[in-house]
Amino acid sequence: MEHAIHPEPTTFLRKHVFSVDHKVIGRQYLILGMVWALLGGLMAYVVRSQIAWPAQKVVGASLFIDGAAGPGIVLPETFNALITMHGTVMVFFVAMPILLGAFGNFLVPLMIGARDMAFPRLNMASFWVITTASLVMLVSMFLPGGPAASGWTGYPPLSARESYTGVGLGQAFWILALALEFTSFLMGGVNLLTTAITMRAPGMTMMRLPLMVWMQMTAAVLFMLSVGPTIAGAILLLLDRTAGTSFFVPAADGSGGDPLLWQHLFWFFGHPEVYVILLPGIGVLTEVLPTFSRKPIFSYKTILWSTMVAGVLSFLVWAHHMFVSGMSPLMVMPFSITTILISVPFTLVIFALIGTMIGGSIKLTTPMLFAVGTIACFIVGGVTGMFLGSAAVDTYMHDTYFVVAHFHYTLFPTVILGGLTGFYFWFPKMFGKTLNRPLGHIHFWITVISFNVLFIALFRVGLAGHVRRIWAAVTYDYLKPFQGLNVVATWAAIAMLIGQIPFIANLIWTAFKGEAAPSNPWKSNSLEWQTASPPPHENFHEIPTVHRGAYEYSVPGSEQDWIAQDSEPSSTSAG
Amino acid sequence: MFNWFPPEVSTFGQDIDSVFWLIFWLGLAGFLIAEGIILFALIYYRRGKGKKAAYIDGNSWKQASWILIPGAIVLCLDLAVDFAGGHAYHEVKGELPASDVKVRVEGEQFAWNITYPGPDGLFDTADDKLMLNQLHVPIHHPVHVYLRSKDVIHSFFVPTLRVKQDALPGREIALWFEADVAGQYEIACAELCGPNHYTMRGFLNVHTADEYAAWVGETWGDN
């Protein structure tokens, strides 16, 4: 396929704004996700400040929060809105745009040796749909009655009737924004799968694909198979909310709808969604660890099949979010067993990732530091999941800060640390500049240390029975002794936000002073590194022919310790 | 050992805590091993002059055993955790033991309505007594709680009992506990239920037999 699939645009708007080029769209997703990450982080700061110093003025928040109690003072309804928005934003507008939207779009065509995605216009449409979703979500925060305030899980009846929260149109806008977001990623998923299956360069067999491509494909399949029931649920919730139906709201005599139905519809999607986010994060590691260990990925096929098994299992575990929901106790044990069983494929994946480093020649570049940090922190998330998967322990732990700390230990490493790993690794390719190394290292250490202090403190208060989503823990006598740890956690959150200053400084410094990046700064094998940084229009001057897998590092008898996927095999060693 | 939980005052609390500690020690061992190997790799296999990486792709069974064996160990530990947890869960949420002490707890934004059936042992009769946020129970005696909600989902959480159960509108959920230490303990709402969710605080009063009899007499008179 040597003909141009779309001509090079000439106007600024076509080139940088309404572009159909997967590289531009990938960068747009990245910027969208990073802007939301900053907003989501600031929301967490306000939430943490309120928890540590209840009803006191939150420094710097006066401009945005001006309720009945005065500027900067967070009322309980504002608090509930902020935790709802923080969760929604971080999962749907940060994790997915960065890990799937940015990395999937930018990397997959380059890694498989294609000129663009299979459906470039659909690709552009998917970005503008999530941009619309973002605007709807933003507008929802400024409507009378405030934004949605029933948690990111939106459990009815709380979310289904205005009288329970005082939130007006905000909740309906929240549902609408999510529906649009789902639509965007359905479009993106179809596009990504079609691209990866039909547009691979000659010689790029499925088993030669970099694992990142596989992780993106598995994530897309999981998302598309799971999201349907939730979209249906969202429509029913919207009807309950706006048309007065009662799908999820029982009448006083027990007739009518059932709130548990929503929980099933939500978590049937909600759990696979965790893996939709997690797998691309693992995909980043499968590219970064071999590159900086100069070693092949350990057991390509084990990682591939394990993630697929975990993906299948993820459809059979959703009710572990509902152990104390009132669901039949008979259903609990099967879900407890499948949940705990998921630790097996992930043990294989984690040990394969660690095994990649064993016997290597490890260089702790900024992306490698973040990669190791990702695994080291994610292990804590995995181990603590065992407590919650055990239904007996969960009857105590459910809805405490232990749960909050657990899922932050799974999602923060994959989304933020994994996302930053990918960002530092592919930045030279995406933007053609070399980032500053000391600033990258400072960014890493502050982020990782503050993250651990913050959530170890929350594990501890969770064990003490600190329930989540409460405006002031000091209401309860049994939590008063733990207020000090709440303050520690809040200072750690503040440190984490301050720790992003070196990152932003790095971006500004690089924009002005960064050296031009070579095409393959890390001496990596996969195809995206075998073209210019940033890649030219339509990616490759000539579509490469692939001769081997992506992980041929330190091959015995070879002069250099890497062999590009498209380099011609020499007559002596047919790879 | 560490004392990380609130005091434990129910007959099954110990069993739940012991499942926690089982997972804790297994998890801690796994955590230390995995993190230890990472640290070892970073130090021992750091890049240096003359050092060359080994070509190990992990595709042979022999090499893959490096990860398959940990996987098999984790599978066995999983089963152990499942069995231990299953037993404790059955104890807490399985069949209710017979009891004549019954209360109805109904969540409502933002209070616990606690109804006592009175001497006739039947709800919705004239001798019912309703108290806000005050749950009175005898020590060493199983108690049945019939959990309901008037509006949204609440969650009845007594940390010292290790009991938590969501209260749903439209249905009644039965649960039980038997307290074995007298005293007053806090009841929390664990499920976000609206703006003043954090104020939904109640009290569990575990009375000794004499105290309880006195409380019953005081509440219903000596008839």
Between chains, do B53 and A151 touch, taking CB under 8 Å as contact? no
Q: What is the mean pLDDT of chain B?
A: 94
Between chains, do B56 and A344 touch, taking CB under 8 Å as contact? no
Nearest CB to A395; choose among B56, B163, B195? B163
Q: Give me the torsion for CA of A538, A285, A220, A41, rounded to 10°.
A: -100
Distance CA A266, CA A249 (A): 16
Between chains, do A344 and B47 touch, taking CB under 8 Å as contact? no
Q: Give me the torsion for CA of A297, A301, A306, A308, rounded to 10°.
A: 120
Helix (H, G, I), strand (E, B) or coil at B141: coil
Q: Which residues of A touch B41 (CB under 8 A)?
A: 354, 357-358, 360, 362
Between chains, do A376 and B78 touch, taking CB under 8 Å as contact? no
Q: What is the pLDDT of residue A550?
A: 96
Q: For B173, list phi and psi in degrees, rounded to 5.
A: -115, 125
Q: What is the pLDDT of residue A213?
A: 98
DSSP bridge partners of B167? B154
Output the CA–CA distances (angstroms, integers) from residue A155 to A144, A237, A249, B153, in the order listed. Answer: 21, 10, 11, 8
Q: What is the pLDDT of residue A530?
A: 97
Between chains, do A471 and B198 touch, taking CB under 8 Å as contact? yes
Distance CA A211, CA A196 (A): 12
Token pair recorded at residue A108: 């997959």
In chain A, which residue's Cα lies nearest the Cα of B68? Answer: A348
Q: Where in chain B is the domain with CATH 2.60.40.420?
A: 102-220
In chain B, which residue's Cα lies nearest the Cα of A297? Answer: B57
Between chains, do B53 and A340 touch, taking CB under 8 Å as contact? no
Token pair recorded at residue A274: 């965790």
Residue with tokens 């205005």: A162
Q: What is the pLDDT of residue A46?
A: 97
Output the CA–CA distances (angstroms, integers) from residue B204 to A246, B155, B173, B174, B217, in the order listed. Answer: 34, 15, 19, 17, 19
Between chains, do A471 and B164 touch, taking CB under 8 Å as contact? no
* B172 pLDDT tier (thresholds 50, 70, 90): very high
Q: Which residues of A touch B196 (CB under 8 A)?
A: 76
Give the CATH number of domain A24-530; options: 1.10.10.60, 1.20.210.10, 3.40.1350.10, 3.40.50.720: 1.20.210.10
CA within 13 Å, CB half, A8? 5
In chain B, which residue's Cα lies nearest the Cα of A403? Answer: B190
Helix (H, G, I), strand (E, B) or coil at A60: coil
Token pair recorded at residue A467: 């329930």
Distance from CA of B222 to the nearest CA of A (A): 35
Q: What is the pLDDT of residue A121?
A: 95
Pairing of strands A70-71, A66-67: antiparallel
Between chains, do B45 and A361 touch, taking CB under 8 Å as contact? yes
Output the CA–CA distances (angstroms, integers) from residue A348 to A126, A298, A301, B68, B221, in the order listed. Answer: 34, 10, 11, 7, 66
Distance from CA of A254 to the nearest CA of B (A): 4
Distance CA A272, CA A274 (A): 5
Nearest CB to A361; choose among B47, B68, B153? B47
User: With contact defined as beta carbons under 8 Å apart, do A270 and A318 qualify?
Assistant: yes
Q: What is the pLDDT of residue A2?
A: 44
In chain A, which residue's Cα lies nearest the Cα of B25? Answer: A383
User: With contact defined as beta carbons under 8 Å apart, do B12 and B92 qualify?
Assistant: yes
Distance from CA of B70 to the nearest CA of A (A): 7
Q: For A562, list phi and psi in degrees, rounded to 5.
A: -145, 150
In chain B, which residue's Cα lies nearest the Cα of A346? Answer: B71
A214: CB partners within 8 A, 6+ apart: A283, A304, A307
Nearest CB to A465; choose among B6, B42, B55? B6
Q: Spell out the per-residue pLDDT of chain A, length 575, in tens.
A: 444 567 888 888 888 889 999 999 999 999 999 999 999 999 999 999 999 999 999 998 888 888 888 899 999 999 999 999 999 999 999 999 999 999 999 999 999 999 999 999 999 999 999 999 999 999 999 999 999 999 999 999 999 999 999 999 999 999 999 999 999 999 999 999 999 999 999 999 999 999 999 999 999 999 999 999 999 999 999 999 999 999 999 987 778 899 999 999 999 999 999 999 999 999 999 999 999 999 999 999 999 999 999 999 999 999 999 999 998 888 898 999 999 999 999 999 999 999 999 999 999 999 999 999 999 999 999 999 999 999 999 999 999 999 999 999 999 999 999 999 999 999 999 999 999 999 999 999 999 999 999 999 999 999 999 999 999 999 999 999 999 999 999 999 999 999 999 999 999 999 999 999 999 999 999 999 999 999 999 999 999 999 999 999 999 988 899 999 999 987 554 44
What is the gyration radius of the CA atoms in chain A, in angstroms? Answer: 24
Between chains, do A554 and B52 touch, taking CB under 8 Å as contact? yes
Between chains, do A361 and B53 touch, taking CB under 8 Å as contact? yes
- What strands, in cross-sheet order, belong to the sheet with B134-138? B134-138, B202-207, B183-189, B154-158, B163-167
Q: What is the pLDDT of residue A570?
A: 73
Distance of CA B83 to the CA centre of its chain: 17
Distance CA A276, CA A218 (A): 8
Distance CA B165, CA A325 (A): 7
As a residue count, chain A comes to: 575
Domain boundaries defined on chain A? 24-530
Between chains, do B4 and A463 touch, taking CB under 8 Å as contact? yes
User: Between these two residues, B108 and B91, which has the higher pLDDT value?
Assistant: B108
Assign 3-class secondary structure to A512-553: HHCCECCCCCCCCCCHHHHCCCCCCCCCCCCCCCCCCCCCCE
Q: What ipTM does the predicted assembly reach?
A: 0.96
Nearest CB to B93; choose among A329, A340, A551? A329
Mutate to test the interface with A, among B25, B45, B150 (most CBs of A within 10 A): B45
Between chains, do B86 and A333 touch, taking CB under 8 Å as contact? yes
Q: Which residues of A touch B67 (CB under 8 A)?
A: 298-299, 302, 347-348, 351-352, 355
Between chains, do B192 and A469 touch, taking CB under 8 Å as contact? yes
Q: Is the pTM of the predicted complex or chain greater than 0.90?
A: yes
A vs B: CB pairs below 8 A: 292
Token pair recorded at residue A424: 């530092």
| Residue A569 CB neighbour total at 10 angstroms | 11
Between chains, do A395 and B153 touch, taking CB under 8 Å as contact? no
User: With contact defined as beta carbons under 8 Å apart, do A119 and A208 qualify?
Assistant: no
A220: CB partners within 8 A, 6+ apart: A100, A104, A188, A189, A190, A192, A193
Buried b (16+ CB within 10 A) or exposed e, A209-231: bbbbbbbbbbbbbbbbebbebbb
Q: Which residues of B touch A392 (CB under 8 A)?
A: 15-16, 19, 84-89, 92
**Cα A362–Cα A367–Cα A368 angle in degrees, nearest 5:** 25
The model's pLDDT over B11-48, given as tens digits with 9 standing for 90+, comes to 999 999 999 999 999 999 999 999 999 999 999 999 98
Nearest CB to A363; choose among B47, B84, B201? B47
Q: Which residues of B touch A348 (CB under 8 A)?
A: 67-68, 70-71
User: With contact defined as beta carbons under 8 Å apart, do A20 and A7 qualify?
Assistant: no
The superfamily CATH assigns to domain B102-220 is Cupredoxins -  blue copper proteins (2.60.40.420)
Output the CA–CA distances (angstroms, integers) from residue B187 to A115, A183, B5, B174, in the order listed. Answer: 61, 42, 15, 17
Mutate to test the interface with A, among B152, B187, B193, B204 (most CBs of A within 10 A): B152
Nearest CB to A294; choose among B53, B87, B186? B53
In chain A, which residue's Cα lies nearest the Cα of B175? Answer: A326
- Helix %, strand %, coil % of chain A (to 5): 65, 5, 30
Q: What is the pLDDT of residue A8?
A: 84
Q: For A374, list phi and psi in degrees, rounded to 5.
A: -60, -50
